[in-house]
Amino acid sequence: MSVGCSLVAAIGCGRARPPPAPIETRRPAPVSVSAPKRPAPPDLDALPVAPDVPSERRAIQVVDGRERVVDAEAARARGLTVVDLSDGWAPSVFDDRLAPTGASLPNPYRAVYTGLAADRSDGDGQPLGAGERNYLELYGIPPALSVLRHRFLADARLGCASAFDPAKLLAVDEVRTWGATTEQKELARYAARGARLEAARVAAGAATLEALAATDGRASKDAKDQLRFQTERIAFAEAEKRLVCEGLLAASKHKTGAYDTAMRAAMLDFQQKQAVMDQADIRRGTLEALARSPLENDFLALRRVLTERAMHAGGFVEDGSVGDSASDPGYPTYLGADGARHRVPDLATPALEATLARLGIATPDDALAFFRRHPRADFGSLAVAVRLPPKPEYYGAAMDLSAEIDRGDVWYDFPYDAAGVRQPQPRERFPTFTLFVKWHGERVPLVRWRTTVGGWRSELASDGQEYYRWKGSDVGPRVWRHIVAAPVWIPPTSSPLSSMVKEKRVNGTYARVTNYDETGPGYLSAYGLAAAIHEEMRKGPDGATFFDNGIRTHGSFDYMSLRGRFSHGCHRLYNQLAMRLFSFVLGHRRVRAVGSIPLGFRRVFYSQGEVFEMRLPSRGFYYELDPPLPIEVLEGRIRGQLQKPISGYLPKPGVKYASPPPAVSNSPEARAGGDGP
């Protein structure tokens, strides 16, 4: 019907008039009145175009839908924040510093970090091979924007969104997978059961397997499980299509339908690329990421990257983690200068949204357009001038910060009974790390994150045999006197030689080389990318002395351990949160940059007939806090029979030992498996 005809429908438009409705049901026809358009409010943060400023002073803004170059100095003068979008960005904990004497203190790991983020080099500083990519976001190194640009443009060309069926991927909550040998047996078992169920269906006169599943009895249970299995296999096939189209899985190296080495490696790459913590298992989070279009996933990655850039630029740490919901009446608050209570803010969300808005990005298509108009070379110096959310009143150059670790539920009981059967030791309360600021006489929580504490761990003793040992976390007041960027872990003499050598592709061939992954510096280090040393401060007649018992709060490459496993006594954080935390502390406390601390560690060892040498020239880049930051580890809630930990080694169930367990060492290195004082 034409618009004109619709307007005159009441008089027929050439047709007979319909009978009138009863009086009591008549309603006046709605009248469409177009409200006058209000003029857009003036953009008070829009800066004048400044195309001729030097590159180091350039920033961008999107104003009225158009991108312009502005003067970064003028932006700062107006109270805006310049958010670094360049490939040279790194968390401020890796910044080069000045010594009190004015001497330059370069931070050596910064170049390694930026090379990894931009897909230029690997963790050993060697160039990546053609087509190789670093998927290190879960390890604390989000991709540089030039890398995201490559993803957006490649995914737009490939058009993989039509290569798979999202509904089939989301039809299950998990796809069960097995190792190669078990998988063959399981697939054969399901095939045999499928044949039996088909015979049962015919015998029961059921039209379909679904109809058989609706009956009672054993056949119903088996039919339901078979239907679930079939749905999982359909989802698996869609996952294969997705990974092949995205270029992560080479079809020529993969057997269709099998969770073989090629498929497992591709799935792990996909999960790490999308920051999904499933480690090759195909659970709901992975299925949801697989079901999204590639550009949608790229957009989520861009949001995560810009969140870190904006938080570091603003010097923020608050992310809404101190409570379940800001609308909860019990959500933490602080007293403002106006005498009112104010909720501790989530600064991560508004900082991200402000940055996206100033870039003119609201959708994946907006992001694609942004990357299309910026060649890779632009990311050598790109920045954006943004009005970030205001800092809360309690911010300052020297904030009264402190931290607390609640160990949660703790079991000292040995986890095996006399028969060697593992005993359940459930935990309802998990360890948490909380950062506080003292403000108007109150301790205001800023962040609250999951962390780890020590527990029963396997340990290689001095007699060369493995035992269980309680690896506890120090309880009581301690201080952070030193924060270390790119810390180095010193392997104890008991470390197995097998872990000190790795195979690596060098000049096209594989070679056995000394393995610095666990020692660091690097994202795979036992201490992650940043750490704070727990020290006990003892006051004496000659002043304070500090005792290091080998415990740290640090980042971790083992991101799955934050979901409920134990450490050797240290308190782990996700690497990106550790860097955000320590960058914040360094920016809001009095601090002295010490620089790289010489170590001079050297160990020569033999492995499989070859001689290797490990050299650790530095402990990491040190900062000294003045005064130290107080941190207290709470005892937690002791569960079970024992109220105190067992000291010494206990035999592993089922293991025959040649001799009784040796005495344990209580050195810091041995207690926490960490760096000695």
Mean pLDDT on 177-199: 92
Q: DSSP string covering 31-55, please?
A: ---PPPPPPPPP-TTPPPP-TTS-G
Average pLDDT of every residue of the chain: 89
pLDDT band, residue 469 (cuts 50/70/90): very high
What does the pLDDT read at residue 325? 73
- The backbone torsions φ and ψ at residue 459, rounded to the nearest 5 degrees and listed phi first, read -145, 140
Whether residue 627 has a cis bond before it, omega within 30° of 0: yes
What does the pLDDT read at residue 41? 77
Is 619 a residue whose pLDDT tops 50?
yes
Q: How far is CA 102 from CA 99, 390, 594, in A?
A: 5, 32, 12
Mean pLDDT on 41-58: 91
pLDDT band, residue 606 (cuts 50/70/90): confident
Is 527 a residue whose pLDDT tops 50?
yes
What does the pLDDT read at residue 40? 65
Is 23 a residue whose pLDDT tops 60?
no
Sign, Cα dihedral of 316, 320, 323, 327: positive
Token pair of 220, please? 């119903």
Q: Which domains does the chain have, with CATH numbers?
A: 174-282 (no CATH), 401-492+519-599+620-672 (2.40.440.10)
Pairing of strands 466-470, 456-460: antiparallel
571, 552 Cβ separation under 8 angstroms: yes
Is 634 a residue whose pLDDT tops 90?
yes
Cα–Cα distance, 204 to 326 (Å, whole number): 57
Mean pLDDT on 175-201: 92
Among 254, 268, 305, 288, CA closest to 151: 305
Is 9 a residue whose pLDDT tops 50?
no
pLDDT band, residue 675 (cuts 50/70/90): very low
Strands (DSSP E) found in 72-222: 81-84, 97-98, 104-105
pLDDT digits (tens, 9 = 90+) for 238-265: 999 999 999 999 999 999 999 999 999 9
Q: What pTM was estimated for this model as a whole? A: 0.89
H-run or E-run covering 598: strand 591-607
pLDDT digits (tens, 9 = 90+) for 329-366: 789 999 999 999 999 999 999 999 999 999 999 999 99
What does the pLDDT read at residue 491? 81
- Structure letter (DSSP) for residue 416: B
**436 beta partners:** 402, 445
pLDDT band, residue 6 (cuts 50/70/90): very low
pLDDT digits (tens, 9 = 90+) for 263-287: 999 999 999 999 999 988 999 999 9
Is 180 a residue whose pLDDT tops 70?
yes
Amino acid at 541: P
From 22-36, 216-230, 305-319, the region with the lowest mean pLDDT: 22-36
Cα–Cα distance, 505 to 670 (Å, whole number): 34
Token pair of 654, please? 């089922």
233, 213 Cβ separation under 8 angstroms: no
Residue environment code for 585-622, b if the CB has 16+ CB neighbours within 10 A, otherwise e: bbbbbebebbbbeeeeeeeeeeeeeeebebebebbbbb
Is 440 a residue whose pLDDT tops 50?
yes
pLDDT digits (tens, 9 = 90+) for 529-576: 999 999 999 888 888 889 998 899 999 998 888 888 889 889 999 999
Token pair of 391, please? 């800092």
Mean pLDDT on 643-672: 81
Cα–Cα distance, 32 to 425 (Å, whole number): 67
What three-state secondary structure class fits 12? coil
Q: How many CA atoms lie within 13 A of 373 on its CB side?
A: 14
Mean pLDDT on 395-424: 94
Phi-psi region of 8 (alpha: psi -120 to 50; beta: other; left: phi over 0): alpha
